Structure 1
Amino acid sequence: MIRITSLAALGLLLAASASAQQADQPLLTGEKAFGDWKADRPGVRRLIKPDDLPAPRTGRLASNAPGLADRPQGAKPTLPPGFSAELVASGIENPRVVRVAPNGDLFVADSQANRIRVYRLAAGSAKPAEKSIFADGLSQPYGIAFYPPGDKPQWVYVANTDSVVRFAYRDGDLKASGEPETIVAGIPAGYHWTRDIAFSPDGRTLYLSVGSGSNTAEDIGPRPKGGLEEWMKSKPLGAAWGSEAGRADVLAFDPDGRNGRTVATGLRNCSGMTVQPATGALWCVVNERDELGENLPFDYATVVKDGAFYGWPWYYIGSNEDPRHEGARPDLAGKVTVPDVLMQAHSAPLNIAFYEGSNFPAEYKGDAFVALHGSWNRNVRSGYKVVRLKFKDGKPTGEYEDFATGFVISDDEVWGRPVGVAVAKDGALIFTEDGNGTIWRISYGG
């Protein structure tokens, strides 16, 4: 009989057990990777490739909005062996993005309540030692970023649906000391309303994501005045016009909001952004379009490459033409950047965070976690979980793995819809879900 003589040895044993159980799960590929919620459980792995795309089927829209149920008594996320989940807070109107301040405070966008909340957790615990409303009277706030990057930020930036503002900040502030200063104004609002923000590692660039104003540019209007060729001479590759001008893009500004430019286009709804610590690359997760079929197109996570076009609305996952725009932009064929990690269609990824903490087993370091809000337009539900994207030497393998599941009660009801995800200062994973308005802390061992 083996004797465990220390917590460290016990941790190694738990890690080995968790790895063994997850390794036993088959890697789902091709059509087997499409699946539904009944196949979801921690350790289930999927690898979806561009060649797995089924044929499009237009005009067939599944309407299967989740019936939100109260969280069952004692219900918690289902996690891999060795991990545990503790409730941080509940009863929040609409918890969305969560970001961690350098001192460890959790800043949470309560979007429909138009406020930013702050939670200061007791050491090594999910219990808030203090909580506060940092700012109120905002306009569907979503993205949150601290500036300058590092240990002593002087500002908290907040992305409203129609603007980016900032508040003066000193380490440990639980409430804004002054009024917001508008940094970027005139952001087009409506339809996809979530705006995320992130700073480059050197602090020189503020990135802003702006989702599309429609499913697939149904109301984009006639071609630009002066013709398409003239438009192409002065605009970024794949830039849209009319009602979609300045949308489905990732933009960049100086920290003071000046010198705005377009970084990348054709990203239908880049609702979550982060910078990969190992490389400094900007990543985003994207909700793709609807009404092309149960398993089409795939949602995705990708590096945002400067000058790249990701397809929306004319193409998807490379040079696959959307039949609703057949023949509209032959000039863009062959110029579409293929995303890095493909996910089940209609999973609705909303946020991404890279793990560089020390609480989880070492194999997690460098991987990323993505919150999948869940489908409304798929006959059999997909999403409703937190997944882990696998990386090797800083590069994505394309594979992703179920990490936190158990939010779906039946074909008709769900209790949780994950939205925000962040790594706490102590290495625990924090995530929000807006089905029951809760915040959770996931830790390993104990």
Structure 2
Amino acid sequence: MRPLHAGACAAAILALAAAASAAEPVLKGTEAFGDWRADRPGVVRLITPQDLQPPAPSQSASNGPERAKMPKNVKLRLPPGFSAELVASGIRNPRAVRVAPNGDLFVADSRANQLRVYRLAPGSAKPAEEGVFATGLHQPYGIAFYPAEDPQWVYVANSDSVVRFPYEEGDLKASGAPQTIVSGIPSNHHWTRDIAFSPDGKTLYLSVGSGSNVAEDIGAAPQGGAERWAHEKPLGYAWGSEEGRAEVRAYDPDGGNGRVVATGLRNCSGMAVQPGTGALWCVVNERDGLGDNVPFEYATSVKQGAFYGWPWYYLGSNEDPRHAGERPDLKGKVTVPDVLMQAHSAPLNIAFYEGGQFPAEYRGDAFVALHGSWNRNKRTGYKVVRLRFSDGKPTGEYEDFMTGFVVSDAKVWGRPVGVAVAKDGALIVSEDGSGTIWRVTYDGKS
């Protein structure tokens, strides 16, 4: 029998590793509720509405992570054949990341109130050029380019407005002052505003998170009660300090013709349009204070006119005990989201993968950044996961893709926020625990 040469041995090892990963069982039900110690690339979870547990407010925790220094020579954990390289560090608060048509990386440095841009050297994580595109913003987060081909504008979602800057391909600094196209957005509490354009470029979507955990002071509906609001406002529309919040809105590209797309989305912190279907997707931070495993976070396609439950219900007709009996008219009218994730994982951004660098089975799937939450006894989140799709439809399964940000039960050095697919097919990930940006590539080597 002829001995295998080194290349063949490496290929054989990779094939065995891939087979072992593929054969790993899907964690279901309570088995899917593990903490950070159970996280590793290749672990797959499937959570369904039937797995929902009763609320347990008495078991709710206050367990914010202690920030650790990023280890020297840190090695993030990824599936076989993938590797991560550092693009930039020392950024005050890197949040959403978007890729310009020419390949430049635009990053919202939210606490610094500025928009940064990085131009990577070909095939490298090293920036060839970088700059501060705009300053003087107000907690910027979402970024979009318009039109999609040969964009003339860079749109930025501040916490209280949407502005746009004139843009020409290759600009590292804005050539003119911002033009405000949407103003008066309430900005307290959940302040992350994301934006995305429809495939035809005719609609600008804007997400606006709630002003509280669960509308604790919303009270009874004014002027005629809930029935009046159900007829005159979109289904599940809130009032008082929550009016115009916990929803996704739509506008014309110039900011006119504002309307409501969907309500009851407590905090849709990240949006993306699915290639092929044109469907708008949100990742949503659900409410706190109901125990470690209640309710599930989620990613969902956003349906016109749909109501997703907040603050009265969650995951269908499960009534929040803090609003018991207040809106019986809404029971049975709550849209159940598409992909459920572990409670208190805090998903912040989503990006669909249509690049050509990763293996073919990744095409059409989505990556989601889980920031992690303070409201869980056993820490979870703090990783990037892959949502699995089949023929454009979610399977409901999600898989650990990028882990290694947690140091111990108490300490965390990295908190993923932004995910974006680079022009060359690499995955770009930002995290605001240590203020870094990473480039994930695939070369097939272990």
Does TM-score exceed 0.5, indicating one fold?
yes
Matched, 1:388 2:357: no
Contact 1:21 1:43 in 2 (8 A): no
Contact 2:220 2:326 in 1 (8 A): no
Where does residue 109 of structure 1 map in the other structure? 108
**Cα distance in structure 1, aligned partners of 2:44 and 2:176:** 47
Contact 1:56 1:292 in 2 (8 A): yes
Matched, 1:366 2:358: no
Out of 424, 432, 435, the position equivalent to 1:434 is 432
**Cα distance in structure 1, aligned partners of 2:134 and 2:304:** 33
Where 1:93 maps in the other structure, the secondary structure is coil
Where does residue 409 of structure 1 map in the other structure? 407
CA deviation after TM superposition for structure 1 residue 19, in Å: 3.0
**Cα distance in structure 2, aligned partners of 1:165 and 1:387:** 31
Where does residue 321 of structure 2 map in the other structure? 323
Contact 1:417 1:434 in 2 (8 A): yes
Q: Which residue identity lines up with residue 187 of structure 1 in the other structure?
A: I
**Cα distance in structure 2, aligned partners of 1:262 and 1:117:** 31
CA deviation after TM superposition for structure 1 residue 231, in Å: 1.8
Out of 167, 170, 178, the position equivalent to 1:169 is 167
Contact 1:249 1:266 in 2 (8 A): yes
CA deviation after TM superposition for structure 1 residue 221, in Å: 3.7
Out of 403, 419, 422, the position equivalent to 1:421 is 419
**Cα distance in structure 2, aligned partners of 1:18 and 1:305:** 40
**What CA deviation, in whole Å up to 9, does each residue of 1:104-134 have, x standing for no partner?**
0000000000000000000000000000000
CA deviation after TM superposition for structure 1 residue 266, in Å: 0.3
Q: Which residue identity lines up with residue 160 of structure 2 in the other structure?
A: D
**Cα distance in structure 2, aligned partners of 1:336 and 1:232:** 13
Where does residue 119 of structure 2 map in the other structure? 120
CA deviation after TM superposition for structure 1 residue 153, in Å: 0.6
Shifted more, 13-22 versus 167-176: the winner is 13-22
Unaligned residue ranges in structure 2 (runs of 5+): none
**What CA deviation, in whole Å up to 9, does each residue of 1:150-194 have, x standing for no partner?**
2x0110000000000000000111100000000100011100000
**Cα distance in structure 2, aligned partners of 1:361 and 1:267:** 33
Q: Which residue identity lines up with residue 287 of structure 1 in the other structure?
A: N
CA deviation after TM superposition for structure 1 residue 89, in Å: 0.3
**Cα distance in structure 1, aligned partners of 2:11 and 2:263:** 45
Matched, 1:81 2:80: yes
**What CA deviation, in whole Å up to 9, does each residue of 1:5-29 have, x standing for no partner?**
8xxx999878745531321322110
Where does residue 339 of structure 1 map in the other structure? 337
Where 1:83 maps in the other structure, the secondary structure is strand
Where does residue 65 of structure 2 map in the other structure? 66
Contact 1:14 1:81 in 2 (8 A): no
Where does residue 225 of structure 1 map in the other structure? 223
* 1:110–1:17 CA distance, 2 compared to 1 (3 A): farther
Unaligned residue ranges in structure 1 (runs of 5+): none
**Cα distance in structure 1, aligned partners of 2:415 and 2:17:** 25
CA deviation after TM superposition for structure 1 residue 226, in Å: 3.3
Q: Which residue identity lines up with residue 137 of structure 1 in the other structure?
A: G
**Cα distance in structure 2, aligned partners of 1:258 and 1:18:** 53
Where does residue 33 of structure 1 map in the other structure? 32
* 1:222–1:393 CA distance, 2 compared to 1 (3 A): same
TM-score, structure 2 normalization: 0.97
CA deviation after TM superposition for structure 1 residue 3, in Å: 5.8
Q: Percent of aligned positions with the same letter in both sequences? A: 75
Where 1:112 maps in the other structure, the secondary structure is coil
TM-score, structure 1 normalization: 0.97
Where 1:233 maps in the other structure, the secondary structure is helix
Contact 2:146 2:153 in 1 (8 A): yes
Matched, 1:279 2:277: yes
Where does residue 42 of structure 2 map in the other structure? 43
Where does residue 234 of structure 2 map in the other structure? 236
**Cα distance in structure 2, aligned partners of 1:288 and 1:129:** 40
**Cα distance in structure 1, aligned partners of 2:168 and 2:404:** 39
Contact 2:226 2:327 in 1 (8 A): no
Where 2:394 maps in the other structure, the secondary structure is strand
Contact 1:18 1:82 in 2 (8 A): no
**Cα distance in structure 2, aligned partners of 1:115 and 1:14:** 46
CA deviation after TM superposition for structure 1 residue 77, in Å: 1.5
Where 2:253 maps in the other structure, the secondary structure is coil
**Cα distance in structure 1, aligned partners of 2:57 and 2:9:** 54
Where does residue 24 of structure 1 map in the other structure? 23
* 1:247–1:84 CA distance, 2 compared to 1 (3 A): same
CA deviation after TM superposition for structure 1 residue 59, in Å: 4.5
Matched, 1:265 2:266: no
**Cα distance in structure 2, aligned partners of 1:68 and 1:412:** 9
Where does residue 249 of structure 1 map in the other structure? 247
Where does residue 200 of structure 2 map in the other structure? 202
Where does residue 293 of structure 1 map in the other structure? 291
Where 2:87 maps in the other structure, the secondary structure is strand
Where does residue 352 of structure 2 map in the other structure? 354
CA deviation after TM superposition for structure 1 residue 434, in Å: 0.3
Shifted more, 15-24 versus 373-382: the winner is 15-24
Q: Which residue identity lines up with residue 26 of structure 1 in the other structure?
A: P
CA deviation after TM superposition for structure 1 residue 257, in Å: 0.5
Q: Which residue identity lines up with residue 62 of structure 1 in the other structure?
A: A
Shifted more, 226-235 versus 79-88: the winner is 226-235
Where does residue 94 of structure 2 map in the other structure? 95
**Cα distance in structure 2, aligned partners of 1:360 and 1:421:** 15
**Cα distance in structure 2, aligned partners of 1:232 and 1:15:** 57
Where 2:185 maps in the other structure, the secondary structure is coil
**Cα distance in structure 1, aligned partners of 2:24 and 2:374:** 27
**What CA deviation, in whole Å up to 9, does each residue of 1:346-398 have, x standing for no partner?**
00000000000011011111100000001211010010000000000000000
How many residue pairs match? The answer is 442
